[in-house]
Amino acid sequence: MFTRPACSDDLQVVGRLASYKGIPLLTGLGDVISGERSTYSTLIRASYDLWDEARAILAFLSHLNWHHFGLIYRQGDVYYQTLAEQLLNLLTKPEYSRSFECTCKEVYVRDINKTILTDLDKVIDHMTHCARIIVIIGGEIEVRAMMRIAHNRKITHSGEYAFIHTELILGEAIGNTSWAGGSVSI
């Protein structure tokens, strides 16, 4: 059995070799593998798959007959940015491009200390002018900040808008309990 690599590019090369030789390959990542899964017949992935996560978002939207949406995502973060890219890439495929349209997209940035550098008020303002369904790909701290802005603007009151967030990294905001003590009011 081989273990690693985690990098998707390297994993594609090693994965094809392992499948050819019939050797099990265990990886903790490999979340963006292009090509047919049968090509990697001996691959054992111990994590999520961003391609499947992107397809799940579109399946959810389809289930609710929501075919036009806006997208907000954290730029510069390997997981969030990759998921956003996978989602947008799916929209170029005929089976999705006929059904879905991303009407607008915005990115936000935060520094190494988790300080949001982007003006989220402007992001929300732009989104609400071009989309009623808004998919947010980012951490809980930023999502909460965006939802506070939307709530303060009474965007969440009428039911005209829907905000969708998938938790990509479980517990990213562990230890952040500012909401529990009431120090930040809505």
User: Fold for domain 50-165?
Assistant: Rossmann fold (3.40.50)
In whole angstroms, what is the distance from residue 32 CA to residue 135 CA?
20
Record the tokens describing residue 174, joined without a space: 């562990």
Q: How many residues are listed for the chain in this entry?
A: 186
Cβ proximity of 85 and 91 under 8 Å = no
Q: Where are the domains positioned within the chain?
A: 2-45, 50-165
Whole-number pLDDT of residue 13: 78
Residues sharing a CB contact under 8 Å with residue 155, sequence separation 6 or more, in sequence order: 124, 128, 161
Question: What SS3 class is residue 113?
Answer: coil
Claim: this prediction has a pTM higher than 0.85: no
Question: What are the backbone dihedrals phi and psi of residue 174, each rounded to the nearest 5 degrees, phi first?
Answer: -55, 135
In whole angstroms, what is the distance from residue 79 CA to residue 169 CA?
8
Whole-number pLDDT of residue 24: 80
Which residue in 140, 135, 142 sits closest to 59, CA to CA? 135
Whole-number pLDDT of residue 67: 96
Q: Which region holds residue 114: left if phi is over 0, alpha if psi is between -120 and 50, else beta?
A: left
In whole angstroms, what is the distance from residue 74 CA to residue 15 CA?
30
Whole-number pLDDT of residue 186: 45
In a structure prediction context, what are the per-residue pLDDT tens digits for the chain, which is 186 residues long?
A: 555 555 666 777 777 788 888 878 777 666 555 556 667 677 776 666 788 788 889 999 999 999 999 999 999 888 899 899 999 999 999 999 999 999 999 999 999 888 999 999 999 999 999 999 999 999 888 999 999 999 999 999 988 999 999 876 555 545 555 544 454 544
**Prior bond to 24 cis, omega within 30?**
no
The count of other CB atoms within 10 Å of the CB of residue 141 is 15
